[in-house]
């Protein structure tokens, strides 16, 4: 992943730093991670620094912002949840969120290219993306709330 991450960073005009590569690696296989989860995965110590190139908590947020602005990662902010980050970018997919456990699942856009939904009015905006979040209960939470068969 390290060389892939380095190539991704250079392709977007960003320096390939240990800190940026560490964050990209920490997101690999862990979509919808919070900053706290990334912090734990990277190993930022309570003193604020880690062995991953001296990344501090504030440095983590700076890297997340840089990667989001470069469109290497996507930030989603479901209501009542901390910001979450994922590597899946550029396809205008949507999300399902469980009200019980907070599980988040990707849902592909069903109508084609971005923005894949059209608002009633544009109000002078040029629209390039639609962000939809469906809320409900995942299968496990739904089953747990059902009365047991007698």
71/99 same-domain check: no
Same domain for 8 and 46, yes or no, is: yes
Measured between alpha carbons, how far is 52 from 66 in angstroms, rounded to an integer? 17
Q: Are residues 102 and 137 in the same domain?
A: yes
Instruction: Give the model's pLDDT for residue 142.
Output: 94
Question: Domain for residue 130, yes or no?
Answer: yes
Domain-embedded: residue 22: yes
Binding positions? 98, 101, 138, 141
Is the pLDDT score of 54 beyond 80?
Answer: no
When pLDDT is cut at 50, 70 and 90, the band that residue 25 belongs to is very high
**Cβ-Cβ contacts under 8 Å for 135 (sequence gap 6 or more):** 96, 97, 99
Domain contains 81? no
Residues 8 and 67 grouped into a single domain: yes
> Once rounded to an integer, what is the mean pLDDT over residues 112-126?
77
Report whether pLDDT(116) > 80.
Answer: no
Residue 45 pLDDT exceeds 50: no
Give the count of domains, the chain.
2
Q: Which residues are annotated as a binding site for Zn(2+)?
A: 98, 101, 138, 141
Q: Which two tokens stand for residue 84?
A: 């979450």
Rounded to 5 degrees, what angle do the CA atoms 79, 82, 84 make? 100
């Amino acid at each position: 992943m390290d060389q892939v991450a380095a190539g991704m960073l250079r392709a977007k005009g960003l320096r390939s730093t240990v800190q940026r590569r560490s964050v990209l690696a920490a997101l690999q296989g862990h979509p919808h991670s919070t900053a706290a989860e990334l912090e734990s995965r990277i190993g930022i110590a309570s003193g604020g620094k880690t062995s991953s190139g001296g990344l501090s908590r504030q440095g983590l947020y700076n890297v997340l912002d840089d990667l989001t602005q470069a469109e290497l990662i996507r930030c989603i902010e479901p209501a009542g949840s901390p910001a979450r980050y994922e590597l899946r970018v550029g396809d205008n997919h949507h999300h399902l969120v469980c009200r019980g456990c907070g599980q988040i699942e990707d849902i592909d856009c069903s109508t084609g290219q971005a923005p894949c939904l059209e608002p009633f009015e544009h109000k002078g905006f040029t629209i390039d993306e639609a962000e939809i979040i469906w809320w409900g209960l995942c299968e496990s939470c739904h089953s747990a709330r059902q009365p047991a068969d007698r």
